[in-house]
Amino acid sequence: LSLSLSFETSFPFICGMYALAHAIAAALLLLSLPAAAQYCDNTRGFNATACDPSSATCCKFDWSPNGWGCCAMPRATCCGNGYTCCPEGTTCHDSGSGWGVQTACVNSQGQVIQPGQQICKLGPPQPRVPGIKNCLVIGDSVSIGYTPYLASALADVCAVQHSPWGGDGGACETAYGLQCLNYFLSSPNGTLFKPDLILFNWGLHDGPMSNGTSPGQNGNMSVYLPELTKLVARLKQTNAKLVFAHTSPMLCNALEDWVVVHLNEQAEPLMRANNIPTVSVHDEIVRKCGPVPQQSCFGAAECFCPHCASAGYEWLATQVLAPAVRAILADEK
């Protein structure tokens, strides 16, 4: 309950309308923990982490608001760095530290058998709100920035949450999305969330900021389209209305922004083939701020390079994304 109240404090516009509904839904979720899942500690509730031991392992995770995440391997070795895990029977050999740590998984013969996996971040921390549409934003740190403003702008038609729940780069690269999507689509305790609409994006961590491979942080642009294709196929299984947000620009750097444009050009035909509407986030920001390169926008230096101050996120949510989502929800009626 304390975590729920903390979240709602950051979203005061929802409190008055949905507090009772949240309490009722939370009570129901306490009774509906998936049979295979096991809580990671003595905390209980929809925003306490639970993992299915047949496919995952509870690990301490520094990006988790409650301190725990699921490593997507059974009986895994949880690395002591707070971010990664390795297969059963291996040890973690780290280089670097903090969120940028790189782990090699070493077997008993001293052989590196694979890179360490980033532990999966948690899904939406609030239960579904009855009596209204429920919308889920799955995306990068830019989407984390605009989600509070999007939730406020759509509060009359849709209860909006972000997944994954936590900081850093959100859903990060497509490989991490494939590894962890089932967690992003479930409450932290493993209960399937079932949103009515999913606004999703991958791309910012797939080449524009780094074309190297760092599990749970960045991937190579060469695998973007095939992995995004798999993500779309999995998202379609939710039966939610899907909306794809184009990757936002790297306004300060023309070469990095060229990569963004290239990824958006790959994503667009895929979305058309799957009848998924798109929102031209990149083009709308460039139209507002001016052609790349731009060193400032919305009165802030390095705005949308890739992040921005609150004014930029509020504009993006209220003037670009909310009208598009509102129109799509209206069409669904």
Tens of pLDDT, residues 121-150: 999 999 999 999 999 999 999 999 999 999
Copy the structure tokens of residue 224: 């973007």
Give the pLDDT confidence score for residue 167 in this predicted structure: 76
Q: What is the mean pLDDT of residues 74-81?
A: 97
Give the pLDDT confidence score for residue 236 in this predicted structure: 98
Q: What is the mean pLDDT of residues 202-230?
A: 90
Q: Residues 120, 72: contact at Cβ < 8 Å?
A: yes
Distance (Å, whole) CA 307 – CA 68: 27
What are the two backbone dihedrals, phi and then psi, of residue 225, each rounded to the nearest 5 degrees?
Answer: -65, -50
Give the pLDDT confidence score for residue 214 in this predicted structure: 82
Q: Compute the half-sphere exposure of residue 111: CA atoms within 13 Å on the CB side of its CA.
A: 2
Residue of 207, 200, 280, 287 whose CA lies nearest to 240: 200
Q: What is the mean pLDDT of residues 155-167?
A: 94
pLDDT in tens, 234-252: 999 999 999 999 999 999 9
> Does the pTM of the predicted model rise above 0.85?
yes
Q: Residues 194, 32: contact at Cβ < 8 Å?
A: no
Give the pLDDT confidence score for residue 215 in this predicted structure: 77
- Between 225 and 216, the more confident residue is 225
Give the pLDDT confidence score for residue 34 in this predicted structure: 56
**What mean pLDDT is reported for the chain?**
89
